[in-house]
Structure 1
Amino acid sequence: MERNVAFIAWMDGEGWTAPDLAAELNTAIGQSTGKPGTLSDVTVRKWRSGETTWPRIAVRLALEAISGRTAPDLGFADRRRKTRTPPEDPMLRRSFLNTTIGASASFVMAGPAPSVGTSDVLRLRAQLDSLRSLDDHRGGHDTLEQAALAGAQEAARLQAKAATSRTRERLFSLAAAFTAAASWSSIDAGRLDGASRHLDRALTLAGLAQDPEMVMQVWNLRAMLARQREDYAEAVASAQAALATAIARRSPLHASLAHARVGVGLAHAREARAALNCLGRAEEALARTDPAQPCASWIAFYGPAELHSLTAIVRDIVGDPGEAEAASHRALAVLPDAYRRNRAYTTARLALAQLHQGDAEQACVSGGQVFGIMAGTPLPGRMRRLLGDFQRELLARGPAALASQWTDRHRSEWSSV
């Protein structure tokens, strides 16, 4: 009998205990069928141990609705059958999913609407994922920030009506995640005054949710906010607080990100050797991660491409622009297409690294590519600030004619996006 490693990883990653998951599944089954489930923590432990490899259909559908993954993705398989498993009743699946995603409870059962539960959590998670996708494509802006704050308000309101304590915690966690998204949008847009207030609120909500993942996210954003404010001592302290969280202690992926953030802060503080040591620890931690393991959506951006990008920043700051350029190229080579804003930002860093090596002509080519990457949407404030740094350094270092040419183009394209 083999333990269900995939299911165990999902449960542990989401912070589920066996009793809480059983209770949540029973609620979801009740919302779908009109008859509450009868699962217990013993049932869940049998799934973990591998003693039960294929739960009954209503339970599998509840698991899929709560986790967002198929039963096989969670490590379940019908090993008792040598023949092909008969197809499931499509009406049952459609009825269950329509209920759990909040389409219409009356599709399955008559009577009053169910209390707040899994369907609300799934709906809000989908909204949050949509906002994150918009951020990846366009970057921070006022509409995104306001939408995130509205999501946080709804999640906080719904938790008071939650059917179970576990649902209440998940809604508090979502309220924290929405608030953190609003903060990040504010940081990326260059509006730093409101970001700190949002992060204070997000940290409170993360505590109410008892969610170490969210606590880590808040400290990560605090490090980024402090860096934008040029308060490098606070940037280092915040990144170290992220590194000290429970999730960073047990997850090499989270630890890698925290080490890299500490490195960026130390580089700005002119502690070059310590900064490079942190990058080394970030690389070692990232090498220990399993790409096949699921991770929270907020940290899905972090991987080899992002570490290369952060390495480029550190290398350029400590006076090694050649290595910074190489790291930028490595980042761009493996960066997924969905991260358009990150691609533009890394390209702007590439331009700076080339300029710092005295290659002003190539730097202008790279800097101009930023506008093409972001064509059709306004540049986020953080990117405008970086391009402003590039323009000022180009005027100080580059040939006067080339600098004037790029500035003219910079001015016209700046106003057109």
Structure 2
Amino acid sequence: MNATRNTVLEAWMAENGHSSNSLADAVNGALERLTGRPGGLDGSSIRSWKAGRVKWPKSATRKALEDVTGLPAVALGFIPRGRASLTSPPRQGDPDMKRRTLVGGIAAVAAAAAAPGASPRRIGMSDVDRLQARFTEVIASDQRHGGQLSAQQRAAALAGEALHLQNAGSATQRVRNSLYACAASFLSSAMWAAIDSRRYDDAKGHMREAQALAELSGDQAIKFRIWSHAGTMYRHMGRPADALAANDVARNLNITRRDPLFASLGHARQAATLGLTGDTAAVQRALGCAQDALDRADPGLARPVWMTAVRNGAELETLALAAHFRLGNFERAETHAHRSLALLRPQMRRDRAINTARLAAAQLGQGDIEQAVATAMKVPADVATQHARVTRMLQEFGAALRATTPGSPTAQIWTEHTRDAWRTPA
């Protein structure tokens, strides 16, 4: 007689993102916690479950599976031995009768919960995937527009949506950890939007919430992002000691030892902060470490979407530009500016505008007045007027230009450009 496939188990695995091997590993871990001995399951064991060749796993294995999934075995499509169907009455002498009766009741409740309008529902990896797709949209919006208040509010609202799912139904621990990671990711983006627009009180509030959620998730990548953003925030606030301390927390996370690309970003952001201290040798050492780590990074590894500019070295060049500009090494800053602009993807309009403004300021610092103005005029008017950091940088550029060549035709060209190109439509 041919075995009947366990399509219920297959559906649960697909919903929760498990392969045969990953479920085997998870159940083996649960078995070790239950019995003190490692489990012996492998991918072929799980495939036998899915094929229906094993209809009722051994008792310890069932308990471990139930711990992993949060569901009774019968709700996962398994059929107790000696039963033709789940509705067959248990034998009165069966020592497992009470347990089977209870399990049958739970299965009935689970089936009822799947009916329209029933509550609570089952939260799975498809819910996490949907949130992660929204996070990708948030990152794309940030790259185009930067730290708008609307972006900050949207990211915070999505964090609330992720947390709401924690209480909206039952879920495995893996799904719950992923939901906490999603919420922390959204709040880290809200934090970044606030930093980008110089709303530092908002940024600190988002940071505290994001750090707590990241701890609940256990996600090293999002912990790194939050602490790295904290370092950037303190750098922008002119607090280099706090910035260096926050960067050190990020750089000491295990993920920087597992993946050199994270180590590269950590060293590069440390270099940008060291630029505030005037320590040229320390900046050079940090940038050297960042480049070495970037060279060692495996380009084929899957990484978070916010690491896009780190992969090809654009972020390293951007932070090297910031470090040398702060040191007053304008020639070196200009070199890194050109490199960063060549590497940044077209959709990264915010970063491109910031680096163009810094390039203009570096050219002005070298006395190349006409070229500096021509460069500054390349910043799109919408970014120049709607992004707080870019607006401030160009205002500082204009002030330095007027101080360098007061009343000159070149300074007048810049004044007319800002008056005409930046005029807000009526």
- Give the TM-score taking structure 2 as reference length: 0.72
Are 1:351 and 1:367, in contact at CA under 8 Å, matched by a contact in 2? yes
* 2:27 paired with 1:27: no
Q: Which runs of structure 2 are paired with 1:4-19 in the superposition (5 Å)? A: none
Please give the alpha-carbon distance, in whole angstroms, between the structure 1 residues aligned to 2:239 and 2:416: 33
* 2:210 paired with 1:202: yes
Letter in 2 for 1:173: A
Please give the alpha-carbon distance, in whole angstroms, between the structure 2 residues aligned to 1:44 and 1:338: 44
Q: Which residue of 1 aligns with 2:60?
A: none
1:332 Cα deviation (Å)?
1.0
SS at match of 1:336: coil
Please give the alpha-carbon distance, in whole angstroms, between the structure 1 residues aligned to 2:176 and 2:231: 29
Are 2:264 and 2:291, in contact at CA under 8 Å, matched by a contact in 1? yes
Q: Which runs of structure 2 are paired with 1:141-290 in the superposition (5 Å)? A: 141-160=148-167, 161-290=169-298
Q: Which residue of 2 aligns with 1:82?
A: none
* 2:342 paired with 1:333: yes
CA displacement, residues 198-247 of structure 1 (integer Å, 9 cap, x when unaligned): 00110000001111111111111101111111111111111111101111
- Structure 1's 137 and 162: CA in aligned 2 closer, same or farther, altered over 3 A? farther
1:29 Cα deviation (Å)?
3.6
Are 2:309 and 2:344, in contact at CA under 8 Å, matched by a contact in 1? no
* 2:303 paired with 1:318: no
* 2:116 paired with 1:133: no
Letter in 2 for 1:225: M
SS at match of 1:292: coil
* 2:394 paired with 1:409: no
1:319 Cα deviation (Å)?
2.5
Are 1:268 and 1:317, in contact at CA under 8 Å, matched by a contact in 2? yes
Q: Which residue of 2 aligns with 1:379?
A: 386
Higher mean C-alpha displacement, 114-123 vs 23-32: 23-32
SS at match of 2:303: coil
Q: Which runs of structure 2 are paired with 1:37-48 in the superposition (5 Å)? A: 40-41=23-24
1:190 Cα deviation (Å)?
2.2
Which of structures 1 and 2 has the bigger CA Rg? 2
1:381 Cα deviation (Å)?
0.7
CA displacement, residues 151-171 of structure 1 (integer Å, 9 cap, x when unaligned): 000111112334101100000
* 2:300 paired with 1:300: no
Are 2:15 and 2:125, in contact at CA under 8 Å, matched by a contact in 1? no
Please give the alpha-carbon distance, in whole angstroms, between the structure 1 residues aligned to 2:127 and 2:294: 34
Letter in 2 for 1:327: H
* 2:372 paired with 1:363: yes
SS at match of 1:300: helix
- Structure 1's 205 and 270: CA in aligned 2 closer, same or farther, altered over 3 A? same
1:298 Cα deviation (Å)?
2.1
Q: Which residue of 1 aligns with 2:71?
A: none
1:39 Cα deviation (Å)?
7.8
Please give the alpha-carbon distance, in whole angstroms, between the structure 1 residues aligned to 2:21 and 2:340: 50
CA displacement, residues 34-73 of structure 1 (integer Å, 9 cap, x when unaligned): xxx998415999xxxx988xx89x99xxxxxxxxxxxxxx
Q: How many residues align?
A: 334
1:263 Cα deviation (Å)?
0.7
1:268 Cα deviation (Å)?
0.7
Please give the alpha-carbon distance, in whole angstroms, between the structure 2 residues aligned to 1:159 and 1:339: 33
Q: Which runs of structure 2 are paired with 1:48-67 in the superposition (5 Å)? A: none
1:30 Cα deviation (Å)?
6.5
- Give the TM-score taking structure 1 as reference length: 0.73
Q: Which residue of 2 aligns with 1:309?
A: 318
Are 2:184 and 2:213, in contact at CA under 8 Å, matched by a contact in 1? yes
Are 2:15 and 2:124, in contact at CA under 8 Å, matched by a contact in 1? no
Please give the alpha-carbon distance, in whole angstroms, between the structure 2 residues aligned to 1:329 and 1:39: 45
Please give the alpha-carbon distance, in whole angstroms, between the structure 2 residues aligned to 1:197 and 1:311: 29
Please give the alpha-carbon distance, in whole angstroms, between the structure 2 residues aligned to 1:43 and 1:157: 26
Please give the alpha-carbon distance, in whole angstroms, between the structure 2 residues aligned to 1:29 and 1:343: 41
Please give the alpha-carbon distance, in whole angstroms, between the structure 1 residues aligned to 2:232 and 2:9: 36
CA displacement, residues 291-348 of structure 1 (integer Å, 9 cap, x when unaligned): 2221111222223112111111212222321111111111111211121111111111
Please give the alpha-carbon distance, in whole angstroms, between the structure 2 residues aligned to 1:319 and 1:38: 55
Are 1:146 and 1:182, in contact at CA under 8 Å, matched by a contact in 2? yes
Are 1:199 and 1:218, in contact at CA under 8 Å, matched by a contact in 2? yes
Letter in 2 for 1:136: Q
Please give the alpha-carbon distance, in whole angstroms, between the structure 2 residues aligned to 1:168 and 1:407: 55
Q: Which residue of 2 aligns with 1:118?
A: 125
- Structure 1's 31 and 352: CA in aligned 2 closer, same or farther, altered over 3 A? closer
Q: Percent of aligned positions with the same letter in both sequences?
A: 34
1:416 Cα deviation (Å)?
3.4
Gaps of 5+ in 1: 1-22, 60-108
Please give the alpha-carbon distance, in whole angstroms, between the structure 2 residues aligned to 1:30 and 1:280: 44
Please give the alpha-carbon distance, in whole angstroms, between the structure 1 residues aligned to 2:15 and 2:161: 24
- Structure 1's 39 and 258: CA in aligned 2 closer, same or farther, altered over 3 A? closer
Higher mean C-alpha displacement, 391-400 vs 208-217: 391-400
Are 2:231 and 2:243, in contact at CA under 8 Å, matched by a contact in 1? yes
1:278 Cα deviation (Å)?
0.4
